[in-house]
Structure 1
């Protein structure tokens, strides 16, 4: 994945245009006349199918064989949010907003990418026919039909229960969030006191994963990072809990994480998602035994460090165990060479409050989503930040914090356990309890659930 990013971390859309492919999540389209009514109807069908799939992307400028399409337009102003908003309003119900990003490929040309959000408690249906042909048949889309993504990939109408089943399940899960939120409002939104066994188990997983990561970092002979990663990073972990236990078939881990990724992006989406199961061979997530001696349960592991000569934005390392334990270790975005260049601050000298809160929010959203899918009733969290001493509070563009506040302590670990309904109904408070103690080391006294709620609209940047 080529490093083409902004200061707020937008990067993985570049992968869509550097390595174009068609999947159930991605539809490639050539350059088309967006004023053409038939083309609009066909796009509406694809948008409906992607929404009913749980979200996805329309990528323009490529043929079905992944080659770059010829006859490129002289300008791309037609590929706008307004254009696709009108298409959705004209043909689909319930209406929703698609985001449009002009993404520059590593080779130089810019390509429009349309992000289609997931449906909500109701599936997305067609409310109008496309233009009729000479025989009176609608072209592109038919009123009353519900479209889904099918192998091919294709965007086709739902035909039977086999097609309806996964769509209905996602709608039920979405509606369940609303129900859980109602229940959660009646629940005291405080962390439960976890059992000693639960605390010890999550702590052991957290520490063992950190030790495995340190060995990988030590073996990365070509590693180039402005500050020592082992001393300057965060580690965010969680564990799904249930009276019956959580057991995920190892073969289901990747598709479950792909589905969770789509759902989490409704809450946090900067373009570089946690626990994202990349598929490129050199960075693809792979199954490993939990322990180095080959024992333990299966763990899906993703290592973006390699030999250290990585071409990604952040050298993430994450593990997801088949019993619902998860952890991710990553250096600070603030220390990236690009961030140093754009901010004019040296690596290791500052910390972004928004990033601390946003990444904690992403972890909480991911845990809640996986708990809903895997039978988790509660979630235990353990979060650690290292390399804080001497850093000063600052932020990426658009936010001003009072300067001059720096940390004297070098590390902070927070933990807590919450019922899933609370993670739905009062996630702002959960995020505040896990992240605010870090910022308090800087004399930051304004970190509250209300601050998290106020920052939340900034968490979806794409």
Structure 2
């Protein structure tokens, strides 16, 4: 399929096959289309069979890590965090936009992506990924109100939903996001914990809901995979997630649907998780990808071993929009 127009030769997004001459023309008959499709199926046969085997056996094969990709993503996350800290610097110390009880941040890098030529094109690609909303307050939120809408800053697109425009409108840390995107396919977002905004159930800074890390990171990773579909040449998705303010928090079930215990505490304040699945692994084996990524977080709570069923059940709810 042609990627661009060439006047009087080929047209963009049209399919061409090689014919005697030699020359390239669009398929004209049913037989020419059947031959083309047969070749496509044969060429992709091994990849297709391997995907089926991966789904049936529920395995996630390790991918070859690109040199310096993790370091580059870490540097991007640090720069984005400094930018957020600049924005909140003049706010009171206990302001919700500063996440006084801790926060979680996610950063993604589309490895192998051909950069978007302009920030306008980057905005278009973000909007394609934003068409699917899996939760009420979705990751990389694009607000309609101009005060919180995405804007250009240097060579990035960013949005700060924590900007105060109405002092009478009460918000929690979980609704004060900051996010940033770059033309070469890197994403960053930071948000406070929703558990800290429901004092009638748990005191602020005291607990982490058992299911929420699965929902938070799962939604971010699914957004990154949709974003990856708008780029050429993406091989895999590098991930860096950091959870802060964990010390002395305990695991709980905020909705009360599970018999949870309050004796599994974290003695660690900050945990950073890294991974690099392929886009296909995210699409076909998300449960396994998420279990491998998040298990070190759960283990900090007195060696809690999060079961496979937890990830599988919650991710099915997330993708089904049952929040």
Q: Does 1:276 align with 2:141?
A: yes
**Alignment of 1:246 onto 2:115:** yes
Q: What is the match of residue 152 of structure 2?
A: 287
Q: 2:287 aligns with which of 423, 428, 440?
A: 428
Q: What TM-score do you get using the length of structure 2 for normalisation?
A: 0.75
Decide whether the 8 Å contact of 2:104 with 2:190 is kept in 1. yes
Distance (whole Å) between structure 1 residues aligned to residue 259 and residue 118 of structure 2 = 46
Deviation by residue 1:107-133 (Cα, 9 ceiling, x = unmatched): xxxxxxxxxxxxxxxxxxxxxxxxxxx
Question: Aligned in 2, Cα 1:230/1:216: closer, same or farther, shift over 3 Å?
Answer: farther
**Partner of residue 395 from structure 1, selected from 250, 253, 256:** 253
For residue 162 of structure 2, give the secondary structure of its aligned residue in structure 1: coil
Instruction: Give yes or no for the alignment of 1:355 onto 2:212.
Output: yes
Partner of 1:324: 185
Q: Which runs of 5+ in 1 are unaligned?
A: 1-178, 290-297
Deviation, structure 1 residue 365: 0.6
- Unpaired segments ≥5 residues, structure 2: 1-45
| Equivalent residues in 2 for 1:61-76, closer than 5 Å | none
Contact 1:412–1:438 (CA under 8 A) maintained in structure 2: yes
Partner of 2:40: none
Cα distance in 2 between the residues matched to 1:180 and 1:285: 38
Assess if the C-alpha contact under 8 Å between 2:106 and 2:242 holds in 1.
yes
Q: What are the superposed Cα offsets for residues 77-124 of structure 1, whole Å, 9 maximum, x if unpaired?
A: xxxxxxxxxxxxxxxxxxxxxxxxxxxxxxxxxxxxxxxxxxxxxxxx
Deviations 1:326-361 (A, max 9, x none): 01001111111xx113x1x21000001211111111
The answer as to whether partners of 1:378 and 1:420 remain within 8 angstroms in 2 is yes
Q: d(CA) in 1 for partners of 2:203 and 2:245?
A: 14
Please say if 1:374 is aligned against 2:231. Answer: yes
Aligned match of 1:214: 85
**2:101–2:205 contact (8 Å) kept in structure 1:** no
1:138-287 equivalent positions in 2, closer than 5 A:
183-186=50-53, 189-221=60-92, 224-225=95-96, 229=99, 232-242=102-112, 245-247=114-116, 249-263=118-132, 265=133, 269-287=134-152
Greater relative contact order (Cα 8 A, min sep 6): structure 1 or 2? 2
In 2, the alpha carbon distance for the partners of 1:304 and 1:197 equals: 32
The aligned length equals 266
Give the match's secondary structure for 1:383: strand
**Would the alpha carbon gap of residues 278 and 194 (structure 1) be closer, same or farther in structure 2, given more than 3 Å must change?**
same
Q: CA RMSD in A?
A: 2.6
Kept after mapping to 2: 8 A contact 1:238/1:326:
yes
Structure 1 CA distance for aligned equivalents of residues 184 and 110 of structure 2: 8
Residues 391/300 of structure 1: CA separation in 2 closer, same or farther (3 Å cut)? same
Relative distance call for 1:192 and 1:371 in structure 2 (3 A) is same
CA contact (8 A) 2:93 2:100 kept: no
Structure-2 separation of matches of 1:384 and 1:414? 6
Counterpart contact for 1:383–1:414, Cα < 8 Å:
yes
Matched residues in 1 for 2:105 and 2:64: separation?
Answer: 22
What is the distance in 2 between the residues matched to 1:257 and 1:410?
33
- Counterparts of 2:158 and 2:100, CA distance in 1: 19
Q: How far, CA to CA, are the matches of 1:363 and 1:183 in structure 2?
A: 26
Provide the C-alpha distance between the structure 1 equivalents of 2:69 and 2:213, rounded to a whole number of angstroms: 25
Q: For 1:206 and 1:385, how far apart are their aligned partners in 2?
A: 13
Q: Taking structure 1 as the reference length, what is the TM-score of the superposition?
A: 0.53
